[in-house]
């Protein structure tokens, strides 16, 4: 019996993976390691790592905190989503 | 003795109130009621109302769901934040 996966769960997974990829690309463009971004943002390194691998559904406040740490517009983290 | 309020809590409050205002402005520009947005997005009416008054720290998946329901780029909801 195949495992049934609710549609919105699949959609959420795709959203979070895309957000994670956007974050990783921009972080690298800025020449920052995950540790440096964690330090700048005040977030835990493990949180940054889980966000980048699409395993964390962060909040809007966390998204704004990350955008400020990267000195970018928050919308840049949501490109092509 | 004045109530001490952690700085990040004040900052979060401001972020959520600005997000709520952005959502309300865009929803009205689109000529939608809260009920219509709730129906389109699949979110509860109470959730839409609490988001618009800055009392809910929504997730990124909820933000994307709302943007799709409004047929806008997600970044538009994060203007001037």
- Profile chain A (81 residues) by mean pLDDT over runs of 10 residues: 61 92 98 98 97 96 96 95 85
CB contact under 8 A, B64 and A78: yes
Q: Judge whether residue B62 has pLDDT over 90.
A: yes
Interface test with B, best of A7, A14, A60, A79 (most B CBs within 10 A): A60
- Kindly state the average pLDDT of the residues B58-63: 96
CB interface of B with A, residues 23-52, below 8 Å: 42
pLDDT digits (tens, 9 = 90+) for B33-43: 999 999 999 99
B41-46: long-range contacts, CB 8 A cutoff, minimum separation 24: B41/B65, B41/B66, B41/B68, B41/B69, B42/A8, B42/B69
CB pairs under 8 A between A and B: 61
ipTM attached to this prediction: 0.86
Distance CA B45, CA B56 (A): 13
Place of tokens 């865009």: B26
**CB A47, CB A56: distance < 8 Å:** yes
pLDDT at B1: 57
Long-range contact pairs involving A33-41 (C-beta distance under 8 Å, separation at least 24) = A37/A66, A37/A69, A37/A70, A40/A69, A40/A70, A41/A65, A41/A66, A41/A68, A41/A69
Phi, psi torsion values for A57, nearest 5 degrees? -95, 85
Q: Are B19 and B78 within 8 A, CB to CB?
A: yes
The answer, for B56 touching chain A at a CB cutoff of 8 Å, is: no
Domains in chain A: ranges and CATH:
7-76 (1.10.260.40)
CA B22 to CA A16: how far, in whole Å? 23
A15: which chain B residues are within 8 Å (Cβ-Cβ)?
A: 60-61, 64
Element spanning B69, H or E? helix B60-70
């Amino acid at each position: 019996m195949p495992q049934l996966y609710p549609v919105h769960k699949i959609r959420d997974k795709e959203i979070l993976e895309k957000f994670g990829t956007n974050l990783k690309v921009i972080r690298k463009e800025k020449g920052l390691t995950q540790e440096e971004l964690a330090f700048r943002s005040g977030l835990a390194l493990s949180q940054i790592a889980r966000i980048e691998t699409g395993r964390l559904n962060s909040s809007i406040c966390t998204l704004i905190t990350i955008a400020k740490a990267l000195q970018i517009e928050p919308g840049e983290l949501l490109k092509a989503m």
